[in-house]
Amino acid sequence: MTLRSSLPFAALLLLLPGCFSNNRHQGEKLYAQHCSGCHGDEGQGLGRLIPPLAGADYLTDHRAELPCLLRNGQREVIIVNGVAYHNVMPGNKALSPAQLTNLLNFIETHWGNSASPRTIREVEQQLDACRVP
């Protein structure tokens, strides 16, 4: 390959990153925007009013339900790390499956949580399961 013939290839490589969105920190940004006001900057929760997300057994015990919980909210009593929480959590129907995936991947891999990464397809299937006909 000559220098002249490799120039178009080099130019393509330089332009390629612009073709993809950088969602690497989207989950963290979404958490700060939608969740941290109640659950805290470090997922610590608020006493017996708002459940913690940090080291929360609820995240692993209810993994398949979490996309629906974020989309539709929570109105029932939930038990997190042995403590009952009675407050309502609003849902956010405006978040796309990709945004929900990024948000959950952030929450589930920070503050002592170590879940395997989710895919958008997995989240879409879980959202389909909670849709009301």
Segment 45-61, tens digit of pLDDT: 999 999 999 999 999 99
The answer to the question of residue 31 being in a domain is no
The answer to the question of residue 75 being in a domain is yes
C-alpha angle with apex 38: 88 to 59, nearest 5 degrees? 75
- Find out whether 54 and 31 touch, Cβ atoms under 8 Å: no
Residue 80 pairs in a beta bridge with 83
- Find out whether 60 and 115 touch, Cβ atoms under 8 Å: yes
Segments forming the whole domain that contains residue 78: 46-133
The answer to the question of residue 70 being in a domain is yes
Q: Residue 40: CA atoms inside 13 Å, Cβ hemisphere, count?
A: 14
**The domain spanning residue 89 has which CATH number?**
1.10.760.10
- Please say if the pLDDT value at position 132 is more than 80: no
The answer to the question of residue 2 being in a domain is no
Kindly calculate the radius of gyration of the chain based on its CA atoms and give it in whole angstroms.
19
Rounded to two decimals, the pTM is: 0.78
- Please say if the pLDDT value at position 21 is more than 80: no
The answer to the question of residue 34 being in a domain is no
The answer to the question of residue 36 being in a domain is no
Domain count, the chain: 1
